[in-house]
Amino acid sequence: MNKLPRISGLECAKALKRAGFYQKRQEGSHMILRKDKPFVQVVIPAHKELDRGTLRAIIRAAGLSIDEFLKLL
């Protein structure tokens, strides 16, 4: 398993947008990204640095593997 990098919430959102997600809305410091087919919705905190556990949970909720996500960065 590859080690997850330390990235910001904005970098994570950019990578997910390359995977077909779009930003539905933003509430405070949390961005809600959505993909319609298949329906998936993830919440990304717009922090300077995401914890690795939080990033792993976002990747899992998006239906991606870690390797697929790293290729999108």
Residue 4 lies in a domain: no
Residue 48 lies in a domain: yes
Residue 3 lies in a domain: no
- For residue 10, CA distances in Å to 1, 21, 37 come to 24, 13, 23
Number of DSSP helices (H) and strands (E) in the chain, helices first: 3, 3
Among the listed residues 32, 39, 31, the one whose alpha carbon sits nearest the alpha carbon of residue 63: 39
Domain span at residue 37 reads 9-71
Q: Is the pLDDT of residue 13 over 60?
A: yes
Residue 2 lies in a domain: no
Domain count, the chain: 1
CATH number of the domain encompassing residue 33: 3.30.920.30
Residue-wise pLDDT for 25-51, tens only, equals 999 999 999 999 999 999 999 999 999
pTM of the predicted model as reported, rounded to 2 decimal places: 0.90
